[in-house]
Structure 1
């Protein structure tokens, strides 16, 4: 199992028990590794600095015991932000009606990059409407996806949408 998958498996129970959901776990770096953990509150409330600090302490304790990263590393805990990455199938459903950018592993209809309005999930496929037309993408084929910062997204994030 890849390192990030193993780390995610180790920290998920603690994070969920605290009332949060993992959005993304990423391990990057050269000289010194950086473990980036992105989480959000399960109740939908905005994340605070204290939330991130609480998660950081809990994750640090679990990782100290399990020790999945053999070299020195820096732990960074953050919220997903407004123009957040879309990492779970339910994210594509939740943010239907907002603009997103997606990149696929394998070309779909001769393309790997899609930008347009998310239309949700249909039969396990992520649906997006772009200037080039509608596309239905297999979730496992999506390499990267994130919301595009728009006025509509900002209004919705402020509870005005």
Structure 2
């Protein structure tokens, strides 16, 4: 079974579990690192994720995965928060985090830069719009973007 199909199956199994636990299912990753496979579930909620949230989702999902056995390889299950510098992957993320400072990594340089920071304006018609340098609006085609992450400001 392919990685995409595995992620889709796990996402379908995890969604009702996260909803029951009052958290949002942010992302599912199934990746091989060295010899080992990792199934990573990222969850979030307005007031932030606690260890208890992660444990509750992990225990329930682990039982469900054992029952349905959708993954052939052995793997490690990890449930965690997406972190302060979370990646924006879904369209709804661009709406939710409008006005926040983001860091965009590009596949090819734009004006000599492969990384651009600015205030997120949004996602529309396949373009990510930000306000850079406090005033200049930049629209970047989504297919030219490697990653969009929330920027972490350390004061």
CA distance in 2, matches of 1:7, 1:141: 29
CA distance in 2, matches of 1:27, 1:40: 18
Deviations 1:100-157 (A, max 9, x none): 12245788899865432211244664322235x53334557754221111148xxxxx
Aligned position for 2:89:
87
CA distance in 1, matches of 2:62, 2:128: 34
| SS of residue matched to 2:14 | helix
Match of 1:34 among 38, 41, 55: 38
Aligned position for 2:18:
15
The answer as to whether partners of 2:21 and 2:53 remain within 8 angstroms in 1 is: no
1:55 is displaced (CA, Å) by 0.7
CA distance in 1, matches of 2:95, 2:141: 14
1:20 is displaced (CA, Å) by 1.2
CA distance in 2, matches of 1:18, 1:139: 33
| SS of residue matched to 2:35 | coil
The answer as to whether partners of 1:97 and 1:118 remain within 8 angstroms in 2 is: yes
1:30 is displaced (CA, Å) by 3.5
The answer as to whether partners of 2:108 and 2:114 remain within 8 angstroms in 1 is: yes
Deviations 1:66-87 (A, max 9, x none): 2222111111111122222212
Aligned position for 1:128:
130
The runs of 5 or more residues in structure 1 that have no matched partner are 153-161
Q: Structure 1 residues 103 and 65, CA, compared in 2 at 3 Å: closer, same or farther?
A: farther
Number of equivalenced pairs: 149
The runs of 5 or more residues in structure 2 that have no matched partner are none
RMSD: 2.8
Taking structure 1 as the reference length, what is the TM-score of the superposition? Answer: 0.74
CA distance in 2, matches of 1:129, 1:94: 16
Matches within 5 A, 1:138-157: 142-151=145-154
